Amino acid sequence: MIRIDILSVVPELLESPLSHSIVKRASDKGLAEIYVHNIREYGRGAYRQVDDYPFGGEAGMVLMIEPIFNIITKLKAERDYDEVIYMTPDGEMLDQPMANRLSCKRNMIILCGHYKGVDHRVRENLVTMEVSIGNYVLSGGEIPAAALVDSIVRLIPGAIGDEMSALSDSFQDELLAPPVYTRPADFNGWRVPDVLLSGNPKLIDEWRERESLERTKKLRPSLLKGED
């Protein structure tokens, strides 16, 4: 059982990705417990203030340390956490080996930034790991957190119907997955490769391996050189 606590000022952004498909199935089966906490509920005063102007002056608002400290402290009093992850474009890039590693953890907190980010003391004192999903900027950490959680949860044994299928994903063996086709075998003259209709498992396996290698060479040569 893996437990993930996600902290956000816009929890609504996380609702749909966590309540459908494989992530939902894993939750329903009790393979993963995923909770979304609204940081605003931990804000101070009648307005539940969670952000403020940056010291030194600059445009944009910064998430305050106090509400985040309070929620993390409360969660840590209830159980031990293996990681407190902050989603940020300057973090370590999410890739398949990172997802594999994190899928073996028990309890994780994922903090989503928003606006200009969080008070840096959160990162210096509370966060154990910083994760980015790519070299581009999104408006907040929620969509990246949803991507991270999906990449982790789908690897938990039992989350995917056919347990083999996560292992045959692209990247899992540093190769892209081969093409797949389904009926009809001929759509207006666009035909499925004959070998897939041959019924010969050995030929089909060989074709898939060859396609994987060729697609990787063409589309992601850096994977073959071990650069990614």
Whether the CB-CB separation of 43 and 50 falls below 8 Å is answered with yes
Q: For 199, left (φ over 0), alpha (ψ -120 to 50), or beta?
A: left
Binding ligand 6GU by CB under 6 A: which of 16, 59, 124, 136?
Answer: 136
- Pick one of 46, 77, 137, 180: the residue that binds ligand 6GU (CB under 6 A): 137
Is residue 23 at the binding interface for ligand 6GU, with CB under 6 A as the rule? no
Choosing from 11, 43, 89, 178, the residue that interacts with ligand 6GU (CB under 6 A) is 89
x/- contact string, 90-109, with ligand 6GU (CB under 6 A)?
Answer: -x------------------
Token representation of residue 2: 């893996």
Parallel, antiparallel or unpaired: strands 32-38 and 186-187: unpaired
Nearer to ligand 6GU, 144 or 178 (CB): 144
Handedness of CA 73, 78, 79, 84 (dihedral sign): negative
Least Cβ distance, residue 59 to ligand 6GU (angstroms):
16
Residue 181's alpha-carbon distances to 27, 144, 177, in angstroms, are 30, 30, 13
**144 touches ligand 6GU by CB under 6 A:** yes
CB of 47 to ligand 6GU, least distance (A): 24
**Per-residue tokens: 117:** 């980010």
Q: Out of 11, 43, 67, 141, name the contact with ligand 6GU by CB under 6 A.
A: 141
Is residue 54 within 8 A of residue 110, CB to CB? The reply is: no
Residues near ligand 6GU (CB under 6 A): 87-89, 91, 131-134, 136-138, 140-141, 144
